[in-house]
Structure 1
């Protein structure tokens, strides 16, 4: 009986872990809408999330009872903000821009979509992430077809890194109806989708209007949480999802949105450090100190979350720095995952000769690439000088000094030998002459 119960317990644990493994940060989603009657407009999007085991809770954005925390613990893992017209959110105690920004700072993920009636509240929220929406009442339009398709445009300009959107898997144009946005210069921001060259934003067309308008932008914060902003609510609607729009072929919105939501909710491009260690060559023991000029091996092991499982991560641009105030050594870690196929993570190795400087150093791997989770691995070690009995008996650089000392010794011996021989000869001659005189 115990065996049966333990087997059932193991199976339940596996099932629960599979469900929770859809997103590395959780499956609880809060959906904010201007009006709950708008919920059916995005039914296919909701279904795609529910098929991926997300638990959606729909709330009206003006509901004062909504709170993001319960007894200090976060009530949600992700927030979908589809309430651009609700201006009252700025005054709600538990659901305002400050609460949303803190939610992202604490590791939550945020997906925001607006339309041409975006309120000041949602604009202020976007500005916290260095994103500015176009003025209210404007719209991204096709200059060559201003009266067609009720202001809809089609674009194929996916400019996001492949870590966010793999454009090769998006088939067909992307339908968009909304306003443009202007991402700032913060390095954490990523441009995701732009219009074609023949599209402008706004109601007045002048030479100063930019010809390529940003439509979607995303930020990955320093805490590796993610926030995505889109200037179109219709982009996620059922009509745009399936292409039920007269005059357009089958769009690629479905594939694009699924990839975008997977990235935003941390289902893809998520990395974690499994282990990092260091040791001397021909050894496996990690030490707290090393000697200058020691040859060491540094190993970092990294896994990537892909297709609902952790797999080995591969890269050719991961670097190790040996730092004391400034980097004394910066070298590229070699991907040696192929040589360790029995592991379920990527293994990166660097062989380093420590600098001829002693002090407290940091071995640091600081991997930051657009779209990928930021990695940081640090080890603090001491590097000491040679002890008095560890120096080599003879130094190559001192050979000239050794030669000079040897020449002085040899010269002294030769001089002494010659001098003594001469002095002895003179003494013998003196003694001989003295003996002759005495006779």
Structure 2
């Protein structure tokens, strides 16, 4: 009976987990852990919470130093995403579940993190940002040119430099209001700067004490790890506050609401998510996929890619998907062309190619990595064999000059023989006739 109860509980939990994933607008799940320095700060970001709840996320609010927090239960992750709004809590390094080691492991397991900090960020948060190639500044960002309401630390910016796969800058008409510190994004190809200031901004301890005139300063940066988990750091908690969302900029509402909506959608994998539906290869004028081909065979390679957009999988469209035929080094690199499909939620990309005149074990690889999009990898390993003794052509085009020289030599020999026989042979017969007559 006890085993039956355990089995029933397990089935119910699995059904609940599957239903939450199916109903979620995120492609990875809808369970979010929100960490705050104090639960009283929750009211400052009500509009942001309502945004997420309208998108069917289940929010669990916890004080960051709560010792009861756990990220795993019997090896399974309890949350799909973490919102880290606790930059001042300095005891996380000793927390059994929220230390930087645990948070990095959370990302390694596919979880996403959205973190917001400020000038007074703890050393623990700075160390966490450094794990993802981001360095947080220690001073406030000021701008004497682009500011709001005579407060030079409350700056306005339209400098969205992220690709449209992360933020569609054209859809954000009003400037974004920002007050906080800056950050530096590393040079790794996995890292991306999203929002910056204008060229006249600088970092300072106070309004009258300029410490470092640096020009354009990065305000929001992100990293998409190799397993496609996404981590975003923002140098301002106030960016998400109701105060700045409702504030007006040049007689219009600020662009904060739309900006943080798109930023959270990308971070929580609600958009710009790709997956390989299938991939195949076969000889031209054939449909059977083989494990081996012959050198210089003409083959067709197909890969089907879907994109998660507007809560559903739709065909992905692109003109830069490439195929590589590799044996240690690429022997062939060609761009796949998109071809129409009668139905389906994927885009099909196809290449017609001739295999290299080299035998061995080759890999057909599509390794598609673009900023803002999840990385996709499709690989097939095939053998390419040489021609058998009876598969070579009877006559080689490259050998035609040798064939011609051999033929000309034979013709010359015949002509020479005919002339010689007709000349010396006739003389010999005449002499023989004379000798018989005598």
Contact 1:335 1:348 in 2 (8 A): yes
Residue 199 of structure 1 and its aligned partner are, at CA, apart by 2.2
What is the 5 A alignment of 1:3-402? 16=19, 19-135=22-138, 138-143=139-144, 148-149=150-151, 151-203=153-205, 204-205=209-210, 209-243=213-247, 249-336=252-339, 339-402=340-403
Contact 1:21 1:309 in 2 (8 A): no
Alpha-carbon distance change, 48 to 19 in structure 1, aligned in 2, over 3 angstroms: farther
SS of the residue corresponding to residue 405 of structure 1 reads: helix
Unpaired runs of at least 5, structure 1: 1-11
Q: 1:9 corresponds to which residue?
A: none
Provide the rounded CA distance (Å) in 2 between the counterparts of 1:213 and 1:47: 30
Provide the rounded CA distance (Å) in 2 between the counterparts of 1:269 and 1:96: 29
Is the deviation greater in 320-329 or in 307-316? 320-329
Provide the rounded CA distance (Å) in 2 between the counterparts of 1:235 and 1:95: 24
Residue 179 of structure 1 and its aligned partner are, at CA, apart by 0.7
TM-score, structure 2 normalization: 0.90
Residue 422 of structure 1 and its aligned partner are, at CA, apart by 5.8
Residue 153 of structure 1 and its aligned partner are, at CA, apart by 1.5
Provide the rounded CA distance (Å) in 2 between the counterparts of 1:247 and 1:111: 29
The structure richer in strand per residue is 2
Residue 18 of structure 1 and its aligned partner are, at CA, apart by 8.1
Residue 350 of structure 1 and its aligned partner are, at CA, apart by 1.1
| C-alpha RMSD over aligned residues | 2.3
Contact 1:134 1:202 in 2 (8 A): no
TM-score, structure 1 normalization: 0.89
Provide the rounded CA distance (Å) in 2 between the counterparts of 1:297 and 1:288: 14
Contact 2:142 2:152 in 1 (8 A): no
The count of residues paired between Structure 1 and Structure 2 equals 419
Unpaired runs of at least 5, structure 2: 1-14
Residue 343 of structure 1 and its aligned partner are, at CA, apart by 2.4
Note the alpha carbon deviations across 1:34-92, whole angstroms, 9 max, x for none.
Answer: 11121111111111111111111111111222221111111111011000011100011
Contact 1:149 1:246 in 2 (8 A): no
Contact 2:175 2:249 in 1 (8 A): no
Is the deviation greater in 161-170 or in 421-430? 421-430
Residue 375 of structure 1 and its aligned partner are, at CA, apart by 1.1
Alpha-carbon distance change, 50 to 219 in structure 1, aligned in 2, over 3 angstroms: same
Provide the rounded CA distance (Å) in 2 between the counterparts of 1:246 and 1:193: 18
Provide the rounded CA distance (Å) in 2 between the counterparts of 1:287 and 1:209: 63
